[in-house]
Structure 1
Amino acid sequence: MFAAVVLFVFTCLTASRADHHQPCHSHNMSGLMSVTSFRGEVRAVGAYTYDSMGRKLRFRSNESHPTNSSIGLDLLMFFEEGILYEIDSKNQSCEKKKLQMTLHPLDIPDDAKYSSTVTSGSSSIEGEGMKVNVWVGKLTSIKGSYSMSVTMGCLPVTTMYFTETTSFLFSNLDVELEIKDPDLLVVPSFCHGKPLEDTPEGTVNSFLNEFISLDTAVHRILIPSHLPPPC
């Protein structure tokens, strides 16, 4: 009898700990996202709409919050289908590409590893701290890693991506747990019938790689290749 009770308690504790350390999945969300390179340059501040059930994300940067070092992006991603649309509403055009990597900063990957639970701010002063779980993992398709800070209610707060060429901090701001404008997750009419573009060998299409490409382009403009690197 005692052995049975011990086994039952152990099973319950194990299940509880396993649930606590299993990646959760985010809610539907609308909000703002800022993207900052580890060189301290703001790469984008944009509005997003995320459908967690349908696994769809729309991100539009540099519209209501323009920055000098950012290029406007309008991205519509269907992670389930593995499709990325780069949209240019002004010129009524778009490009349809295959997603090689579906990782994005608004949801914890299923294979993420629990790292720790920490308090941002102060745990001893009421209202001045926020407890978050930290999840880490390796990037797929490109060499690198990530670290995500997520609230106890499974709301991503910050995500850091580290690659061989550059690193970024994605911050989640002014979040509302709803899809405020479902039409943003619908493919624009001028994109209908677009063929899937061929992906050049060695190219990785993903939400993160949009910023890696942007960061590389901006860095080349700021520091031309014919000049020696700064000391």
Structure 2
Amino acid sequence: MRLGLFLPSRTLFCDSLSIRKMYAAVMLFVFMCLTATTHADHHQPCHAPNMTGFMTVMSLKGEVKAFGAFTYDSMGKKLRFRSNESQPTNTSLGLDLLMFFDDGIFYEIDSKNQSCEKKTLQCTQHPLDIPDDATFSSTANTGSPFIEGEGLKVTIWTGSMPDTKGHYSMSVTTKCLPVTTFYFFESATFLFSNTDIELEIKDPDLLVVPSFCVGQPLEETPEGTINSFLNEFM
């Protein structure tokens, strides 16, 4: 009698132990999945590679402020932008800018007259790189994600610019190529869009200070003036 009662009790105990082990295994699996999902959803701002391409700057009213070629050195934090050359328009600005973001200076170059102005950069933000303090907003698909070659997946980053009292919204590809950036200011809104990007610096000499600019004295910045790449279009 005692043996008969003992066996079922032992069986129940083994079944209970098996259930606990299975429950523990399931919970471990769920925890691992949740952890993987958390890591997958965690976004950090990326930094664009070296690039050569074309940039269009438009106002919200549809006015083309500038169109031109750019060369960007992501490691050296250097940018050359030359507008109104290859496809001049009546409304676009004629600019030739050489920016040294790490040094906090830039040159406004006039190659035709062999002259330039050397100025201080008060704001180093520009539309080719996501700021380190940017906030991830969302992921989106432009075009159709279901048709091969007809869609582009982008991540959208937003943030504020205390120096200029503005905000921005930047979309980049999964490999951190900048597509479009909106800048919202109190007085105006601008759209920067990039096309025909190549992952190389085609002409390194474009990122070197021209000989006629070497030794140029640094101009004084008037009080209240904020020099930046963005301000050149405002």
TM-score by length of 1: 0.86
Please report how far the alpha carbon of residue 202 of structure 1 lies from its aligned counterpart in structure 2 after TM superposition. Answer: 1.0
Please report how far the alpha carbon of residue 157 of structure 1 lies from its aligned counterpart in structure 2 after TM superposition. Answer: 0.4
Counterpart position of 2:204: 182
Counterpart position of 1:215: none
Any conservation in 2 of the 1:148–1:156 contact (CA below 8 Å)?
yes
Counterpart position of 2:41: 17
Counterpart position of 1:102: 124
Which of residues 73, 94, 105 in structure 2 aligns to 1:83?
A: 105
Identical amino acids, percent of aligned pairs? 69
CA distance 1:130–1:86, change in 2 (3 Å): same
Any conservation in 2 of the 1:76–1:185 contact (CA below 8 Å)?
yes
| 2:148 is aligned with 1:126 | yes
- After TM superposition, the structure 1 = structure 2 runs for residues 50-199 of structure 1, keeping only pairs within 5 Å, are 50-199=72-221
Please report how far the alpha carbon of residue 56 of structure 1 lies from its aligned counterpart in structure 2 after TM superposition. Answer: 0.2
Any conservation in 2 of the 1:101–1:140 contact (CA below 8 Å)?
no
CA distance 1:16–1:125, change in 2 (3 Å): closer
Counterpart position of 2:54: 32
Please report how far the alpha carbon of residue 16 of structure 1 lies from its aligned counterpart in structure 2 after TM superposition. Answer: 4.0
- Report the Cα distance in structure 1 between the residues aligned to 2:133 and 2:31, rounded to whole angstroms: 28
- Report the Cα distance in structure 1 between the residues aligned to 2:211 and 2:143, rounded to whole angstroms: 46
- Report the Cα distance in structure 2 between the residues aligned to 1:12 and 1:128, rounded to whole angstroms: 30
Any conservation in 2 of the 1:34–1:45 contact (CA below 8 Å)?
yes
Q: Higher Cα Rg: structure 1 or 2? A: 2
- Report the Cα distance in structure 1 between the residues aligned to 2:212 and 2:160, rounded to whole angstroms: 37
> Alignment partner of 1:126: what SS?
coil
CA RMSD of aligned residues (A): 1.9
- Give CA deviations for 1:172-198 in whole Å, capped at 9, x if unaligned: 011100000000000001111111111
Any conservation in 2 of the 1:137–1:146 contact (CA below 8 Å)?
yes
- Report the Cα distance in structure 1 between the residues aligned to 2:60 and 2:205, rounded to whole angstroms: 34
Q: Which letter maps to 2:215?
A: G
Q: Which runs of 4+ in 1 moved over 3 A?
A: 1-17
Aligned pairs, number: 210
TM-score by length of 2: 0.85
- Give CA deviations for 1:77-110 in whole Å, capped at 9, x if unaligned: 0001111110001111111111011110100000
Please report how far the alpha carbon of residue 127 of structure 1 lies from its aligned counterpart in structure 2 after TM superposition. Answer: 1.8
- Report the Cα distance in structure 2 between the residues aligned to 1:58 and 1:68, rounded to whole angstroms: 22
